[in-house]
Structure 1
Amino acid sequence: MIHVNLARGFRGGERQTILLIQALAGADGIERQTLVCKPSSPLRDELAGTPDLKFTNARHQLAGHWHAGKADVVHAHEAKAVHWAWLHRKLFQTPYIITRRVDTPIKPKLSNKAFYRNAHYCVAISSAIAQEISTLTFQKIPIIPSAFTPVSPNPNVVKELRDGYSERFIVGHVGALVDRHKGQRVLLEAARQFQVTRPEVLFVFFGRGEDEQILRQESASLSNVLWMGFKPNIGDYLPMLDLFAFPSRNEGLGSVLLDVMNAKVPIIASDVGGIPDIVKHKKTGILVPPNNSEKLVEGLEALINNEQLRSTLSINAFKQLERFSPDAMMEAYLFLYRTT
């Protein structure tokens, strides 16, 4: 079993790679696993000590093939890994599986069609991504959603933060600070309006990314905006929130929403990409149109003014988390591996 993830950094896809490899360790039929990744990949530290796991260096798609050797199946976890898996099949006749986690359009190039049509399975983490993949291949697209592991928050962190803002209603956001993807400017526009109409509402942003500096500059005049930076232990911070806002412009699934649900924090999010696969409107959260600050403001106002609705949504959301466990994800992939 060979996993391939050639990403440089660490985002949701890398977290899911880790959860799957850990869940597969010791599973019936999985004798050993190999992870092909960059020498500097954060995955190495995160997976150190995982039983029967070997690492193979690959700085690019052409590297690491001979060292990884033959296997029963190759699993490509991100875009560059798809190229690697296709080439490995040419070299060793090894079947491969692709998991696509983003809903951005796939360019209809001949090479992309070859990569996807030669895969034994193309897996999507949401229905929106399955629809995108279907433009390149004629096969049925299995949908296997992302998983998460419940984390018990540090009560001292929660208490310290809440004590510091005891008079404020806190609306939080977690995500890479890349506005074209996560839509932080939409939430900042809402904050701009609330600074006048509801000054008790505090907007707290967690994360880092290429737009961090410009977003900080654009919000410098907003006294109701707080930038917290990246927190590896985000589960310690989510319980401080009264409400979670996720105004993404596009989203493969939005797996951080699962952590928010586990913290029993109500959610308002964009009706885009794979988000509706997790957030059911008026049942497990509130959905609003993407790129629309006015509708976001309306939704925020409705939730802030209705404590009972916030409670109902968060309880319903928490109840659905069992289907997003690492074991559920692992079993779904095991079925695909065994039928490849």
Structure 2
Amino acid sequence: MPTKHRRLTSPTDDDVRAWHRVRSAALAHDRPGEPLPTLAEVRTALTTVGPGSRLALWLAYGANGEGVATAKLRLPTAENSGRLASVELTVHPAHRRMGMGSRLLTTAVAAAAEENCRRLSTEVLAGTPGESFLSTRDFVPALRLTWQRLLLAEIPERIVKLPDVPHPGYRLASWEGAPPDALADSFAAARAGLADQPTGGLAVTWTQWDAERVRRTAELAARRGERLLNHAAVSVADGSVAGYTKLTLPAEAAAGGGARAKQLDTAVLPAHRGHGLGLWLKSAMLRHLVDGHPEVAEVVTNTADDNRHMLAVNAALGFRPLRRTVAYQLRLA
């Protein structure tokens, strides 16, 4: 039975290995068949955080001194006025239902409250005991998400041809990492296109974007060992970004294939909607992967169940359901 847990101020190699063991065992049990994280990916996740956030980490130990459970709490920094926190709990399958998850959650809730956070969120697989675990601790379901996967070998032929379809008034632009200087400001402004995406009852802090923050985000992806790919629809009239899509792929992906890319946000500014730019952009990104990144075998993404439009776009591209999760939220005093 777990006997104690410890806050990690600076994770050691042993801490990272213990965290990796717990995380890998839990994922293999809960999401069989999906890729497991590498040791390097776990180390990066514990030591790298984006602007406006900081991490608090706890590792729980069993009677033999082995790691059996983890908690990663993402806290807002002083510059982040939203005061929203999120927590990720993981318990080794062999040590579940022994009270460690409850103790770690209690610790994380107390830490978030001490930082004057207003809400704490977490995400669990739909239809699993994790839902009742949270519900009995005053968390309420706030947003349901569908995760989807696309095997690049199964992309419909019509999708591969979509980038060649003219979109009068727009041109495609693409880059890796930070945007070119000529597009940096308008790309930052286009991030505002996410402000009206469905979020259910989940409280969200909308970031004020500028060119410098966009560049820092690209640098963060590089520090995480990821390549950040971007495609944008640029208005011919004024040269500004009307919409964009982006994804990441592992920087160290083996040439032999099998790598998984992660589709991130896609947004089109309200004034440019109704022209099919979202589908056009995402199909262009997929074409780019097929032509230029043979090491990538699949793309995964998640979309709010309320976002029917994007779910339909993904289905048209060939994405198929992978799993469903629920974001729960706790209102703090």
TM-score after normalising by structure 2: 0.29
User: Between Structure 1 and Structure 2, which shows a larger proportion of strand residues?
Assistant: 2
TM-score after normalising by structure 1: 0.28
User: Between Structure 1 and Structure 2, which shows a larger proportion of helix residues?
Assistant: 1
